[in-house]
């Protein structure tokens, strides 16, 4: 792949991005490169796409995503220096690739209506600082179907309290949604949009496929609240040595358990709820065997619904949100750890012979500095990490309820 076009966005271009919610760099791919990648996407749609029930060329949207990066010969776009450079300019941070996605809309597909892709329940959409990087592989025009954006629509969602430990957002008022415009994207252009920028993809009239790359990148200091999409070693290996830094988590084991760090104030310091694991004679975080929620699709990794059910069963505690902390290798599988903080929590009501509250120092004394729980408490309170509130798919009807 040629890399002669490596623009560094200047201050005015970055300011325009933050004002309008999007930026365009023309001709990032040559016509030959765009055509080459379009053919790969068309090949993948026939045998390697999501949903598996959709059989090409039936009208619909075919998705090549996630770990398919290792099988599709498309990995080089994810680490294209112009793309990564532009993404990191507007994020003002090094970036992680949270979503590797190529879409193909076959003739007769009806397109999509206006929406934004900040989703609290999705590993690819629940970071507090991420961007879309969209590269059309066919012209996005009236024939193939345009990609419409609503300038300044990203400003409809505002952080409620910038000083909060876990950030929350106002609910967008769609009655104030600015009109959509057509940025007239051509094959090989690069469109970068803010996570809250509204967009739509009206259907076209072409008798050929509409193809494009729709990657998502988050800032390294803004992990998805639902947890990262788990890339496998083959996906990591499809990138160059320099590009491997873009992969946030990688393992070849399943996420088998999920646990919740529950925090509340007590007197002058914070305390954390632990349950006694009689089988292993140790204090442990609430939770246990986790599962993938129904209706997730290809975007796997979130265990919020499972952990909500577990805490309600174990503690009779309804946890309305949680935020990802880390993944812990526990031998036969991965434990995905989330955090939750509630100043109004009645700590005494959860204290009994099996559950009790411990200060950070007491947890360290019980378990040692190398145990994952003291490390999780430390990570939970890192001031350089920006966290949002993760929710389950079943809470998705109201984005900001």
Instruction: Supply the pLDDT for residue 2.
Output: 39
Q: What distance in Å separates the CA atoms of residue 235 and residue 125, rounded to the nearest whole number?
A: 20
Instruction: Supply the pLDDT for residue 256.
Output: 97
The model's confidence at residue 4, banded by pLDDT at 50, 70 and 90, is very low
Is residue 66 over pLDDT 70? yes
Name the packing angle between helices 81-91 and 11-20 (round to 10°): 70
The model's confidence at residue 3, banded by pLDDT at 50, 70 and 90, is very low
Name the packing angle between helices 360-367 and 372-380 (round to 10°): 160
Instruction: Supply the pLDDT for residue 349.
Output: 72
CATH topology of domain 11-246: Jelly Rolls (2.60.120)
- Who's near 69: CB < 8 A, 6+ residues apart? 75, 78, 100, 231, 235, 238
pLDDT tens for 323-361 read 999 999 999 999 999 999 998 887 677 767 689 999 999
Task: Enter the tokens of residue 48.
Answer: 């390697």
Is residue 143 over pLDDT 70? yes
Instruction: Supply the pLDDT for residue 287.
Output: 97
For the chain, the domains span 11-246, 255-395
CA-based nearest residue to 186, from 25, 294, 361? 25
pLDDT tens for 268-283 read 889 999 999 989 899 9
185 forms beta bridges with 140
**Domain 255-395: homologous superfamily in CATH:** Nucleoside Triphosphate Pyrophosphohydrolase (3.90.79.10)
Instruction: Supply the pLDDT for residue 397.
Output: 60
Residue 47, helix vs strand vs coil: helix
Exposed (0-12), middle (13-18) or buried (19+): which is 154, by Cβ within 10 Å?
buried
Q: What distance in Å separates the CA atoms of residue 349 and residue 141, rounded to the nearest whole number?
A: 60
Residue whose structure tokens are 């300019």: 89
Q: Across all residues in the chain, what is the average pLDDT?
A: 94
CA-based nearest residue to 133, from 209, 210, 62, 216? 216
Q: What is the mean pLDDT of residues 8-37?
A: 96
pTM for this entry:
0.95
Q: What distance in Å separates the CA atoms of residue 378 and residue 95, rounded to the nearest whole number?
A: 23
Continuous H helices in 316-371: 360-367
363: left (phi over 0), alpha (psi -120 to 50) or beta: alpha
Is residue 159 over pLDDT 50? yes
Task: Enter the tokens of residue 248.
Answer: 């946030």
């Amino acid at each position: 792949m040629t890399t002669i076009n490596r623009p560094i966005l200047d201050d005015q271009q970055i300011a325009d991005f933050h004002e309008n919610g999007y930026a365009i760099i023309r001709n990032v791919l040559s016509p030959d490169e765009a055509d080459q990648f379009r053919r790969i996407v068309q090949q993948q749609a026939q045998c390697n796409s999501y949903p598996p029930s959709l059989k090409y060329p039936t009208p619909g949207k075919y998705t090549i995503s996630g770990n398919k990066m290792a099988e599709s010969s498309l990995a080089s776009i994810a680490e294209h220096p112009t793309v990564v450079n532009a993404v990191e300019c507007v994020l003002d941070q090094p970036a992680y690739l949270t979503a590797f996605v190529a879409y193909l809309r076959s003739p007769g597909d009806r397109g999509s209506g206006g929406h934004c892709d900040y989703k609290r329940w999705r590993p690819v959409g629940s970071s507090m600082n991420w961007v879309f990087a969209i590269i059309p592989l066919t012209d996005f025009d009236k024939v193939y179907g345009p990609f419409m954006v609503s300038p300044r629509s990203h400003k409809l969602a505002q952080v409620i309290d910038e000083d909060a430990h876990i950030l929350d957002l106002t609910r967008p008022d769609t009655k104030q949604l600015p009109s959509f415009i057509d940025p007239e994207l051509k094959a090989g252009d690069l469109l970068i949009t803010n996570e809250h920028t509204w967009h739509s993809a009206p259907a076209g009239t072409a008798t050929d496929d509409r193809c494009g790359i729709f990657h998502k990148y988050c800032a390294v200091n803004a992990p998805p609240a639902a947890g990262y999409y788990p890339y496998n070693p083959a996906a990591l290996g499809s990138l160059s040595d320099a590009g491997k830094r873009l992969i946030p988590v990688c393992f070849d084991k399943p996420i088998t358990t999920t646990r919740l760090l529950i925090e509340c104030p007590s007197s002058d310091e914070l305390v954390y709820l632990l349950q006694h694991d009689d089988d292993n004679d140790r204090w442990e975080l609430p939770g246990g065997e986790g599962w993938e929620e129904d209706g997730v699709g290809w975007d796997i990794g979130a265990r919020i619904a499972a952990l909500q059910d577990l805490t309600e069963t174990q503690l009779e505690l309804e946890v309305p949100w949680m935020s990802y902390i880390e993944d812990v290798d526990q031998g036969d599988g991965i434990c995905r750890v989330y955090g939750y903080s509630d100043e109004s929590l009645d700590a005494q009501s959860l204290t009994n012979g099996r559950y009790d509250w411990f200060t950070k120092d007491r947890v360290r004394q019980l378990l040692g500095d190398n145990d994952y729980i003291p490390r999780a408490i430390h990570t939970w309170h890192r001031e350089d990490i920006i966290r949002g509130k993760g929710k389950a798919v079943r809470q998705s009807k109201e984005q900001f309820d």
